[in-house]
Amino acid sequence: MEIAFVGTGVMGKSMVVNLLKAGHAVTVYTRTKAKAEDLFALGASWADSPSAAVRGADAAISMVGYPNDVDEVWQGFLSAARPGCLLIDMTTSSPALARQLAAAATAKGCLPLDAPVSGGDRGAREGTMTIMVGGEAAAFEQARPLFEAMGKTISLQGGPGAGQLCKLANQIAIASGMVAMAEALAFARANQLDLEAVLKALSGGGASSWALLNLAPRVLKGDFAPGFYVKHFIKDIGLSLEVCRELKLSLPGLELAAKLYAEVQAAGDGDCGTQALARLYFSR
């Protein structure tokens, strides 16, 4: 397919690489062109705006930071996309915005999908991401080859916005898991245990989790580089709490994670990976 792709950050760049490897032609737009130079060396093309990127494309994908970024990019997509073009947002964004943009895209004859992902930088590199999709079944099937180039666990969750709601459920589970990982390491450290030995024991038993297997080893190496930014995780937690308020649903674990990650950001670690929560515990 001819694909327009907007947003080549920590995960987006690897997603473009995997689309190119699968034989698709990809035109990228990113605010800083120099950051995409390695993609051009692999065969990607450049466009100077989302609207220029989507012209003539079979599909357009956004993988940006925040809901307002999604809205801005999609205004460009909607202004120039041809009828029948797949419009896919893979950002973790607002379910309400996903429904709004889906209605606008459908009115223009396009095929909208909200398809946020999980798996971090490693999942993006290895093409093993989980992709949670909201939209019409026919559009989902048309987009399947693209999803299969980027991910391993791919599911249609329901109509417009359902992919975003599933991803928020995913982030709620991760939020509590991150707190559990940080507290377990902090407890072991306070008792002067060998953290490597503790991690090996926990990872092989009932306490094992994605955070322990993938992020705790980075913590022990002092590696707080972002596989997924703290600032973006705070955005996701906020979106989840917004839906909770609409439903009058109380989730104390999520509320605690929101408080703790606000402290991580206040400590200057907003651009670190989510494992920086452990550093907050270690500093106490």
CA pair distance 109, 148, nearest whole angstrom: 24
| Catalytic status, residue 200 | no
Other C-beta atoms closer than 10 Å to the C-beta of 245 total 10
Structure tokens at 32: 């800083």
Longest dimension (CA), the chain: 63
CA pair distance 169, 249, nearest whole angstrom: 13
Query: Which of 21, 167, 200, 221 is labelled catalytic?
Result: 167
CA pair distance 133, 138, nearest whole angstrom: 12
Element at 102 (helix H, strand E): helix 95-107
At 153, phi and psi to the nearest 5? Answer: -105, 110
Per the CB < 8 A criterion, the answer to whether 227 and 122 are in contact is yes
- Show which residues are catalytic: 167
